[in-house]
Amino acid sequence: MSTGLFLVQALNGLQLGILLFLVAAGLTLVFGVMDFINLAHGVQYMLGAYLGAALAAATGSFWLGLLWALPAALIFGLLLEVLVFRHLYDRDHLSQVLATFGVILFLNQAVKAIWGAAPLQVPVPALLEDGVVLMPGLQYPLYRIAVLCAGIATALGLWFLVERTRLGMLVRAGATNAPMVSALGVDIRRLFMLVFAFGAMLAGFAGVLAGPIFSVEPGMGDHVLILAFVVIVIGGIGSIRGAFIAALIVGLTDTLGKSLMPDLMRLFLDPSAARQTGAALASMLVYIAMAAILAFRPRGLFPARSG
Amino acid sequence: MNLISRRGAMGGALGLLSAPAILHAQPAGGVKIGLVAVQTGPQAALGSQLRDGFLMGLRHLNGRLGGLTAETVMIDDELKPDVAVTKVRTALERDRCDFIVGVVFSNILQAIIRPVTEANTFLISTNAGPSTFAGRGCNPFFFTTSYNNDQVHSVIGQVCEDQGYKRVFVMVPNYQAGRDAVAGFKSRFKGEVVDEVYVPLTQLDFAAELAKIAAAKPDAIFTFMPGGLGVNLVRQYRQAGLAHIPFLSTFTVDEAVLPAQQDAAVGLFSAASWAPNMDNAANRRFVTDFEAAFNYVPASYAAQAYDGAMLLDSAIRRAGGRLADKDAIRAGLRAADFASVRGNFKFGVNHYPVQDFWLLKVAKRADGKFQTETVRKVLENNVDPWAAECRMR
């Protein structure tokens, strides 16, 4: 493998990682701060993509679509919180899993009833339509680079918000010991609601960004959700920093694994067997990495909750 | 009891017109079709194509099959074999369906074929055509109006040979149908396969694979990426600026996914036995009326289901409407005495079609919609590779 190809693959891995981070950031906050398992987080990613697609089509501009989709996703997150999730905070995890799984089924069907089962098309915004040539014969779409930049900017913004502001301090405190924060006179319910809606908006943001690259279809959030859970478990539940590092690890492992594994297997096996086992191993690699990390750091890389 | 009395009443009204021996307890003078089409999950769009194609056929036949009033029982298999079996059993035992028609996916077909055929009921697949029932597993109660998958993949192998492509890059999902696609392709392609890449069925991002393709600089790529996989791949392929490498595919660019791929798919190649622009009277009528009725471009799923309705009509007519006379119905089905939207169509010994296969290219029509169009005929009167193994009892 040439250095050029390796660098492109590393860039691809980073980009997948950033997208995963945007989804996982909300999930880790909700799980960490509220101790609430929200399986429906993937659906919020899907909703973001659909809202972005619909609003872009309605306004005729991807940017306007993005601008409107964010508050729409936020409001939808709030609505879900008030209608469904608020009643589940005090229940055990099993009830939460069941109820949020129900929300997945409901919203997947609802999306299908409204927009149909066929995948939707979101055009790449004209400004970012071109590509840059990073290696001979391959254009790297500007749009992907823009997604990468947007993701890194969001990560920095989040880091600032969580580590350097009063609100962030409350969130971190809530992740560490919610009853104590409440006892100190902070309205923990309102904090929860805020965190929840913000997380939903982040997932929606990731969905809108994903629209021009991936197909927008019912159930598109389900694959992402699984990877997002892997990310927050590796990173340590409730930790934004952990989610960021873990998302990059998962993105890079997945992408580099896919491109290197079949070649690596060829050292031991004949070519056709190497390709198939290599492909199978590559798709397992993320989970193997998770198991390995958890074996040494059972609470993840950067555990938020102590004791 | 309500059911019996209603049936009795209908029988009384129509009894004089219908065939004498009615062993099967369908309403006399009518024929009941169980239409299996997936309506839930991400693949529901394909099921809708199939359903609408069949209903279009019925509409052209004025709601009658071979002179009998047709009643359609919709069965949503949910793409779950166990659900499909339960629902099909119900359709056979409670609803007394005379024929089971449809089925998009092979795994559903494999689950329901025994319950249906063991009840001495004809199963007419309008899409799934696995090799399992084409060779040794061929069945006197099973027909398909589509093709055997291997044939379609082999068309691309033949195209690569004809075009003189020496180095071809192959990429398929890592499951049985994906591996079959590679085998089918290789059965006719004798050049060098630069690399075979197997991706998980849940693949989202093809960036890693596209970089590999760019590095390998093949003469062409062959891929089989059904549904949402294909939407992702085609758009990312275009975005990566790889469109100068000929993109030859099966079940990746068709009218079911073109609305999502749009301009990104224009100029990409596919293989099939039918395309919306085929120039024959039956097809022109089908496509025009289908688009007017359902407001989207039909795909092969719809065309083959339409042919399924026409086939049933011709078979029942030939058998004189005697649904209970299975041998007469079978003879009628084998004769395939109808005007197929594909033009050339007949059944082989294994009840799989013997037909022509075409190289197709995606084009944008004048009205802004997208469709595949025929480029040239690649295989003529092609018999699937399994037919010789079939010993039909």
In the block, which residue shows the tokens 């992408």?
A255
pLDDT category of residue B393 using cuts at 50, 70 and 90: low
Strand B370-382, strand B353-364: pairing? antiparallel
A115 touches chain B (CB under 8 A): no
Whether B26 shows a pLDDT value over 80: the answer reads: no
Amino acid residing at B136:
R
Residue B17 has pLDDT above 70, yes or no: no
d(CA B43, CA B41): 6
pLDDT for residue A304: 67
Q: Report the pLDDT averaged over residues A132-158.
A: 86
CA nearest to A221, candidates A235, A232, A233, A207 = A207
Closest residue of chain B to A8, computed from CA coordinates: B211
B chain contacts of residue A9, beta-carbon cutoff 8 Å: 208, 211
Across the interface, which of B232, B235, B240 has its CB nearest the CB of A138?
Answer: B240
Cβ under 8 Å to B: A residues 126-145: 131, 133, 135-141, 143-144
**Taking a C-beta distance cutoff of 8 angstroms, is the pair A28, A301 a contact?**
no
**Does B19 score more than 50 pLDDT?**
no
- Among B51, B185, B235, the strongest candidate for a mutation testing the A interface, having the largest count of A CBs within 10 A, is B235
pLDDT at B34 over 80: yes
> pLDDT-derived band of residue B97, with 50, 70 and 90 as boundaries?
very high
Q: How many CB pairs under 8 A join A and B?
A: 131
Instruction: Give A194 or A34, the one with higher predicted confidence.
Output: A194
Q: Does A112 touch chain B (CB under 8 A)?
A: yes
The answer to whether the Cβ–Cβ distance between B197 and A275 falls below 8 Å is yes
- For B182, the closest chain A residue by CA position comes to A272
Does residue B14 carry a pLDDT above 50?
A: no
Residue with tokens 């006719």: B188
Determine which of A120, A217, A220, A266 to mutate to test the interface with B (most B C-beta atoms within 10 Å).
Answer: A217
Average pLDDT over residues B334-356: 94
A211 to chain B: closest CA residue: B232
Residue A29 pLDDT: 83
- Asked if B260 and A214 come within 8 Å (Cβ–Cβ), the reply is no
Asked if A213 reaches chain B (Cβ–Cβ under 8 Å), the answer is yes
Those residues with Cβ within 8 angstroms of residue A49's Cβ, 6 or more apart along the chain or in another chain: A122, A207, A208, A210, A211, A214, A216, A220
pLDDT at res. B3: 42
CA-CA distance, A69 to B359, in Å (whole number)?
41
Instruction: Please check the confidence at residue A124 and state whether its pLDDT lies above 90.
Output: no
B267: tokens are 């100029």
Is residue A8 included in any domain, yes or no?
yes
Interface residue A125 vs chain B (CB under 8 A): no
Enumerate helices (H) and strands (E) in chain A, giving the number of each. Answer: 11, 2
Show residues of chain B in contact with A140, CB under 8 Å. Answer: 240
- Identify whether A277 is part of a domain: no
Name the residue with higher pLDDT: A183 or B59.
Answer: B59
Is B204's CB within 8 Å of A224's CB?
Answer: yes
Q: Which of A157-161, B38-42, B184-188, B375-379 has the lowest mean pLDDT?
A: B38-42
Provide the token pair at B16. 């004089």
Q: What pLDDT does residue A1 have?
A: 60
Classify residue A148: in a domain, yes or no. yes
Residue with tokens 């009725």: B293
The model's confidence at residue B2, banded by pLDDT at 50, 70 and 90, is: very low
Q: Which helix (H) or strand (E) holds B7?
A: helix B2-14
Q: Do A275 and B198 touch (CB under 8 A)?
A: yes
For residue B200, report the phi and psi dihedrals to the nearest 5 degrees.
-65, 150
As a whole number, mean pLDDT of residues A124-152 equals 84
Cα atoms found within 13 Å of the Cα of residue A199, Cβ hemisphere only: 31
pLDDT at A279: 81
Query: Does residue A9 contact residue A195 with C-beta atoms inside 8 Å?
Result: no
Domain membership flag for residue A32 = yes
Percent residues over pLDDT 70 in chain B: 92
The count of C-alpha atoms lying within 13 angstroms of the C-alpha of B172, restricted to the half-sphere facing its C-beta, is 23
* Nearest-CB residue to A280 (from B174, B195, B231): B174
More confident position, B132 or A266: B132
- For residue range A146-160, list pLDDT tens digits in order: 999 999 999 999 889
Phi (first) and psi of residue B124, to 5 degrees: -115, 105
Q: pLDDT tens-digit profile of A57-81?
A: 899 889 999 999 999 999 999 999 8
Residue A202, domain member (yes or no): yes
pTM of the model: 0.80
- Under 8 Å between Cβ of A227 and A17: no
Residues of B with CB under 8 A from a CB of A: 40-45, 48, 174, 179, 195-200, 202, 204-205, 207-212, 214-215, 217, 227-228, 231-232, 235-236, 239-242, 256-257, 259-262
Burial of A126 (0-12, 13-18, 19+ CB in 10 A): exposed
Q: Name the closest residue on chain B to residue A9, using Cα atoms.
A: B208
- For residue A141, pLDDT over 80 is answered with yes
Dist CA A59 CA A51 (whole Å): 12
The verdict on a CB contact (< 8 Å) between A8 and B48 is no
- What pLDDT shows up at residue A266? 80
Residue A305's pLDDT band (cuts 50, 70, 90): low
Q: Determine contact: A214 vs chain B, CB below 8 A.
A: yes
Residues in CB range of B3: below 8 A, 6 or more apart: none
Across the interface, which of B48, B195, B228 has its CB nearest the CB of A215?
Answer: B228
Q: What's the domain range around A72?
A: 3-218
Q: What pLDDT was estimated at residue A307?
A: 37
Q: What is the pLDDT of residue A176?
A: 78
pLDDT in tens, B287-299: 999 999 999 999 9
Average model confidence (pLDDT) across chain B: 89
Inspect the interface and report whether the beta carbons of A283 and B200 lie closer than 8 Å: yes
| Whether pLDDT at B28 is above 60 | no
- Amino acid A174: pLDDT: 80
| Chain A residues closer than 8 Å to B236 by CB | 213
* HSE-CB for B185 with a 13 A CA cutoff: 27
Inform me whether the pLDDT recorded for A136 exceeds 50.
Answer: yes
- Mean predicted confidence (pLDDT) in A212-239: 87
Is B205 or B38 the better-scoring residue by pLDDT? B38
Q: Quick one: A306 exposed, middle or buried, by C-beta within 10 A (0-12, 13-18, 19+)?
A: exposed
Which of A 257-296 lie inside 8 A of B, CB atoms?
258-259, 262, 272, 275-276, 279-280, 283
- Position A225 in a domain: no
Residue B10 has a pLDDT of 43
**Of A34, A66, A64, which Cα lies nearest the Cα of A190?**
A34
Q: What total number of domains does chain A contain?
A: 1
Residue B149 pLDDT class (50, 70, 90 cuts): confident
pLDDT score for B192: 93
A123-152: average pLDDT: 84
Residue of A15, A121, A132, A230 to mutate, interface with B, max B Cβ within 10 Å: A121
Tens-digit pLDDT profile for residues B260-294: 888 999 999 999 999 999 999 999 999 999 999 99
How many Å apart are CA B369 and CA B263, to the nearest integer?
A: 10
User: For residues A21 and A244, what is the distance between their CA atoms, to the nearest angstrom?
Assistant: 6
Closest-CA distance, B275 to chain A, in angstroms, reads 20
Q: Minimal Cα distance from B38: which residue of A?
A: A117
Q: Give the residue from A104, A258, A272 with the most B CB atoms within 10 Å of its CB, the best one to mutate.
A: A258
Query: Which ipTM was obtained for this model?
Result: 0.76
- Does the pLDDT value for residue A130 go beyond 50? yes
Local confidence band at A138 (pLDDT 50, 70, 90 cut-offs): confident
Our CA angle for A170, A171, A175, nearest 5°, is 115
**Domain-located, residue A307:** no
Contacts of A230 in chain B (CB under 8 A): none
Name residue, tokens 């067997």: A273
What mean pLDDT is predicted for residues A113-131? 82
Residue B147 in this model has a pLDDT that exceeds 80: yes
In a 3-state reduction of DSSP, which class is residue B343? strand
Asked if the structure places residue A147 within a domain, the reply is: yes
Q: How many CA atoms lie within 13 A of B199 on its CB side?
A: 25
CB atoms closer than 10 angstroms to residue A293 = 18
Q: Across the interface, which of A5, A123, A219 has its CB nearest the CB of B215?
A: A5
